[in-house]
Amino acid sequence: MKPVLLLLLLSIGVSAADRPNILFLFSDDHAVKSISAYGGPLAKVAPTPHIDRLAKEGAVFVNSFCANSICGPSRATILTGKHSHKNGFMRNTGKGFDQSQWTVAKALQAGGYHTAVIGKWHLKTRPVGFDHWEILPGQGNYYNPVFIQMDGKGKRFEGYATDLTTDKAIAWLEGRKGAAKAKPFFLMCQHKAPHRTFAPALRHLDAFEEVTIPEPKSLFDEYKNRSATLAKNEMEIDRHFDWAYDAKVRKDERGTVKLPKPDRYGTPEYNRMTPAQKAKWDAHFAPRNQAFLAEYGTGKMSHKEMVRWKYRRYMRNYLGTVKAVDESVGRMLKYLDDHGLAKNTIVIYSSDQGFFLGEHGWYDKRWMFEESFRMPFLARWPGHIAAGSKPTQLIQNIDYAPTFLEIAGLKTPAEVQGRSLVPLFSGEAVDWRESLYYAYYELGEHAVPQHFGVRTARHKLMYFPRSKEWNLFDLKTDPNEMKSVHAKHDYAKTRAAMTKEFHRLRKHFDAPALPK
């Protein structure tokens, strides 16, 4: 360790030997409503006991949000502590993440941490700041995935991505020796699941077959009383959920039954399977698909009944992928327990953003609406975080990097736009932010337009530059965001205050000019 850094650590009462390990468990597109610690109608039918353990032994942050609800940009925000326009990774398309800039991984590595990232990376350029990495190419695959090794070559492994990512994370911990083992570790264990195409581990195919999945009230949203852009979306379970790719009804199973569009992508995950894996898959899906096709082929199934069937198929598969992630969390916690590491390790569980589970009829993310804007954040740190606590402050993924730094006893550079959550861990009475800024920069993917906004504890203001529309929501009286009150006289003062705050935050974060 550099002498100057060591002196800094000692001056703030933190020795290199007892600095905490940081275990960051991360998933992709995990909606808070599918984590039972957050409550809601899914909690009883689809419990997540291992993730919930973090809430019971630590904290569940009930107002946790992303800055830009899309995979790569969220990951770049976490690494840099900066909004997308500042770290340069504004959308999934385009150039890869600029590795020449400051990142928390580089800082922790230079500050004496043994660092690793394993699993989904999704930033196009190779990881920097990690002593070890093994990552999925792009989105990666669920079955028999390829992992890119540190020599740049891909290596295929038989098995299920969530299990393999966990195996590799544990193997890295097991393999720490000598000087490396003497260091505290920073491990990012990052899963592909539950990202589309929602393919569960074969052992979980039947997990939710006998469960009644509750429907969201807005499953058949007609997109009235809000921006006209909503109705133009291309992420509806009804009109955009692919039969083979998403619903798992392959073309070779259909016989003479003709299903409505879309059917664009085929079955890439099924095609990767071994014969033995396919046999298990077919044993589950084939009879259920034939029963559906027989019913649909009679012509008696109504349109809403078909949408409900697709919704149930979607949710059973989505929740099945979550089940393996929850098991992975359990395995990681057990490893810490078994090796005497739990007391001096902070464990954080999060996801790159939320996800729509049928709300507004949708299955993706992107929008600033609550389901995709919210992201889970649960943390356990014995002696520092009160068990069972539920902080209510507004936090965002720009806060992760400075949090990691304070945990490690390192200084946060001025360029970082987030704030450390450590004071909130201990329940300190701190002057905290009262609003969040959001920006979505993608250029029409899923027909979701660029939009920007501000959220407070009760209200949300959204601006759609393409259509020059403003929407304002009162989250207390309209938690499902079904009606904008922007034009209502009763909300004139709120509208003015939210608009002022929107522009204040844009100036504070040095945001670029709004698109015209």
The residue ranges of every structural domain in the chain are 3-199+315-427, 228-313, 450-508
At which residue do the structure tokens 């692919």 appear? 242
The per-residue pLDDT for 17 is: 58
Distance (Å, whole) CA 469 – CA 447? 16
Q: Where is 463: in which H helix or E strand? A: strand 459-464
Residue range 23-33, pLDDT digits in tens: 999 999 999 99
Is 351 a residue whose pLDDT tops 70? yes
Residue 132 has pLDDT above 90, yes or no: yes
- Give the DSSP letter of residue 441: -
What is the predicted pLDDT for the residue at 16? 55
Per-residue pLDDT at 13: 42
Considering the entire predicted model, what is its pTM? 0.96
Query: Residues 84-112: what's their mean pLDDT?
Result: 96
- Measured CA to CA, the distance from residue 423 to residue 427 in angstroms comes to 6
The answer to whether 140 and 125 are in contact (CB under 8 A) is no
Amino acid 11: pLDDT = 41
Instruction: Answer whether residue 480 shows pLDDT above 90.
Output: yes
Pick the CATH number of 3-199+315-427 from 3.40.50.261, 3.40.720.10, 3.40.50.1000, 3.90.120.10: 3.40.720.10
d(CA 372, CA 163): 26
86 vs 222: CA distance, rounded Å: 36
| Interatomic CA distance for residues 127 and 105, integer angstroms | 9
C-alpha to C-alpha distance for 219 and 210, rounded to whole angstroms:
21
pLDDT at 275: 98
Cα(141)–Cα(469) distance, integer angstroms: 39
Residues 6+ apart with CB under 8 A from 453: 368, 437, 438, 460, 461, 462, 463, 502
Neighbours of 163 (CB within 10 A): 16
pLDDT tens-place string over residues 161-215: 999 999 999 999 999 999 999 999 999 999 999 999 999 999 999 999 999 999 9
Q: Chain centroid to CA 203: how far? A: 23
Is residue 23 within 8 Å of 336, Cβ to Cβ?
A: yes
Q: Is the pLDDT of residue 66 over 50?
A: yes
Q: Which residues pair with 188 in a beta bridge?
A: 24, 117
Please say whether the beta carbons of 130 and 123 come within 8 A.
no
10 pLDDT more than 90: no
Task: Evaluate if residue 5 carries a pLDDT over 50.
Answer: no
DSSP codes, 158-184:
SSBHHHHHHHHHHHHHHT--HHHHHS-
What architecture is the 450-508 domain classified under in CATH? 2-Layer Sandwich (3.30)
Q: What is the pLDDT of residues 413-454, one digit of tens each?
A: 999 999 999 999 999 889 999 999 999 999 989 999 999 999
Asked whether residue 2 carries a pLDDT value surpassing 60, the answer given is: no
The set of residues, in sequence order, having a beta carbon less than 8 Å from that of 51 and lying 6+ positions away, is 35, 36, 37, 325, 326, 329, 349, 376, 378
Report the chain's mean pLDDT, rounded to a whole number. 96
CA distance 349 to 26: 6
pLDDT over 70, % of the chain: 97
What local confidence, expressed as pLDDT, does residue 20 receive? 98
Tell me: pLDDT of 289 over 50.
Answer: yes
Euclidean distance between CA atoms 20 and 12, whole angstroms:
14
- Using CA atoms, how far apart are residues 442 and 427, in angstroms rounded to an integer? 37
pLDDT tier for residue 160 given thresholds of 50, 70 and 90: very high
- Residue 318 burial by Cβ neighbours in a 10 Å radius (0-12, 13-18, 19+): buried
The pLDDT of 341-365, averaged and rounded, is: 98
Amino acid 8: pLDDT: 44
Q: Report whether pLDDT(6) > 50.
A: no
Q: Please, what is the angle between helix 161-174 and helix 303-338, to 10°?
A: 10
| 3-state secondary structure labels for all residues of 238-261 | CCCCCCCCCCCCCHHHCCCCCCCC
Residue 394 reports pLDDT greater than 80 = yes
- The predicted structure's pLDDT at residue 18: 85
Question: What does the alpha-carbon distance between residue 183 and residue 42 come to, in Å, rounded to a whole number?
Answer: 41
Summarised one tens digit per residue, pLDDT across range 295-329 is 999 999 999 999 999 999 999 999 999 999 999 99
Decide: 149 and 132 in contact? Cβ < 8 Å: no
What is the band of 1 on the pLDDT scale with cuts at 50, 70, 90?
very low
Q: At what angle do helices 49-57 and 303-338 cross, to 10 degrees?
A: 60
Nearest-angstrom CA–CA distance, 382 and 325: 23
Asked whether 231 and 200 are in contact (CB, 8 A), the reply is: no
Q: Are 416 and 82 in contact (CB under 8 A)?
A: yes
Measured between alpha carbons, how far is 336 from 332 in angstroms, rounded to an integer?
6
| Helices and strands per DSSP (H, E), number in the chain | 14, 15
| 222 has a pLDDT exceeding 50 | yes
Element (H, E) at 436: strand 436-440
pLDDT of residue 256: 97
